[in-house]
Amino acid sequence: MKKSLFIFSLCATLFVTSCSENQSGGKGNLSEIDVESSFKHPQELSLFDLGKEFTYIPLETIDESLIKLNSTSNLAVTDDYIFIADSGSPILCFERKTGKYLFKVGNIGQGPQEYTNGTSFTVDPIGKRIYVLLKSNRFQCYNYEGKFLETIDCADQIQSMADAFFFVDDKIYHHANIPNEKTTAMTYCYDLKTGQPLDSLLMDENDKPSGPSKMVVPVMGTEIFGGRSFLIQYEDAYTYGRRLNSAFWITDGELYMKDAFCDTIFHVNNLKQQTPAYAFRLGEYGGYGRFESSDDMKGKYLIPNLMDGKNCLYFTLYKGLYDFIDLMKSGKSSTEKPSCGVYNKQTGELKIQQNSVAFKHPLEGMPEVHVFNVSTDGAFVVALQADELATAREEMPEEKQPEWLKQLKEDDNPVILLVQ
């Protein structure tokens, strides 16, 4: 089996370094998450497993603010705002506290201050800016009030097939979710002021594909992958990646990283100084390499999507990922369904739910829900469609209906639920 040698050797090296630092009084403690044991005792998950505080935010529905969420939509919840965009539409901003529509961020178009796809945006939680991808390594930058600031160009060093960008203060982290035969580094850190690399995490030759790709298949569905996913075939090997950021994030002001093919979460001081924070122990269920054949992956699980909340880690587990292309060629549908887990960072308790990533809603009669992402202050974000809520309301006794639900119309904007 051809393993992703660079990533796994990196994990081992940093693990040893971390243990030495801990023994000598350095920062960081590694927490092990025993997925293998918990997987043998699955449980049904409810939103209470993610948190006890629930905040419902109906987004104001007026002509200027109409939005319909789908698997390609993008949504970011900051401390004060909710930014949301649908394919072909500009980014809309709502007030987090009330759901009131405030303004749109820029415009769709080809102009010097415009962008062609509103869903290709990310927010900087430290610098409080919005970045919209124009093309490889070029972005429009706006502040949280929707004012255009500048166009940013960075040196194209990664050259991968699915890139992930993360902005934090005066830096950009550019990660190769799907490296190709020209890729030389897994991650670069760029200076926003100069657009030039500051640091890099180089890759090993064994982490590259043997040649050009034979087939690229987009796989949509935020309830499974977190959106904008791709499966790619190289000869008899396959790999996976997402274009939206899936590698870096900020929790409590600190930068963390997890590559999809490494079962360790790292606290990042810089790209060459990373401390393991959490390690997923998959045991007999683990073993994904970056480039593998579908036969080698039988019975093995990958953790492609992870969300780090204030009190919990939520992650998805997928088996039979590479069977998708063969099934698509034969016209068949996959019988494999993703599983998910919730790890409580305070208690160390782990719950695994098999064959489903849907959470039971604690309010009786409400539909099951899927977690979209995490807000900048660590709340899990759920987007509830108005028509589904209106249908559920018909089966719910009126005395149990919250006031916002009574007033909801089927063609209203989504309702955002924050769980913390």
3-state SS record for 112-126? CCCECCCCCEEEECC
Residue type, 213: S
User: Are 379 and 51 within 8 A, CB to CB?
Assistant: yes
Identify the DSSP state of 188: E
* pLDDT at residue 22 in the model: 36
Closest alpha carbon to 172 in 196, 148, 143: 196
User: Are 266 and 258 within 8 A, CB to CB?
Assistant: yes
Sheet containing strand 101-105, strands side by side: 74-77, 81-85, 91-95, 101-105
Identify the DSSP state of 345: T
* Phi, psi of 26, deg, nearest 5: -75, 175
Which spans in 24-99 are helix H? 35-39
The residue assigned the tokens 């904007």 is 413
Element (H, E) at 16: helix 5-23
- The whole-angstrom separation of Cα 15 and Cα 267 is 12
Domain parsing of the chain, residue ranges: 5-419
Q: 5-419 maps to which CATH number?
A: 2.120.10.30
Identify the DSSP state of 108: B
- The whole-angstrom separation of Cα 120 and Cα 40 is 38
User: Are 142 and 182 within 8 A, CB to CB?
Assistant: no
Instruction: Tell me the sheet residues that pair with 75.
Output: 84
Percent of the chain with pLDDT over 90: 56
Per-residue pLDDT of the chain (420 residues), as tens digits, is: 333 333 333 443 334 333 333 332 234 589 999 999 999 999 999 999 999 999 999 999 999 999 988 777 899 999 999 999 987 789 999 999 999 999 999 999 999 999 998 888 999 999 999 999 998 789 999 999 999 999 998 877 777 777 888 999 999 998 988 888 888 888 999 999 888 899 998 887 777 887 888 888 877 554 444 456 788 888 888 888 877 667 999 999 999 999 988 999 999 998 988 999 999 999 999 988 888 888 888 889 999 889 999 999 999 998 888 887 777 777 777 777 889 999 999 999 999 999 999 999 988 889 999 999 999 999 999 999 999 999 999 988 898 898 999 999 999 999 999 999
Closest alpha carbon to 245 in 21, 74, 59, 62: 74
User: Are 282 and 258 within 8 A, CB to CB?
Assistant: no
* pLDDT at residue 32 in the model: 96
Q: For residue range 238-254, what is the model confidence (pLDDT) as tens digits?
A: 888 877 667 999 999 99
User: Are 113 and 95 within 8 A, CB to CB?
Assistant: no
Give the rounded distance of the alpha carbon of 344 from its chain centre.
Answer: 19
* pLDDT at residue 339 in the model: 94
Helix (H, G, I), strand (E, B) or coil at 359: strand
* Phi, psi of 266, deg, nearest 5: -115, 140
Closest alpha carbon to 200 in 216, 218, 183, 217: 183
Helix (H, G, I), strand (E, B) or coil at 91: strand
Identify the DSSP state of 79: S
Identify the DSSP state of 6: H
- The whole-angstrom separation of Cα 304 and Cα 262 is 10
Longest dimension (CA), the chain: 64
User: Measuring CA to CA, how many Å separate 217 from each of 70, 112, 409?
Assistant: 19, 32, 37
The residue assigned the tokens 């799907």 is 178
Average pLDDT value for the chain? 86
The residue assigned the tokens 């200076």 is 191
Instruction: Tell me the sheet residues that pair with 415.
Output: 58, 384
Percent of the chain with pLDDT over 70: 90
Residue 320 neighbours by CB under 8 Å, 6+ apart = 294, 297, 298, 334, 336
- The whole-angstrom separation of Cα 268 and Cα 189 is 12
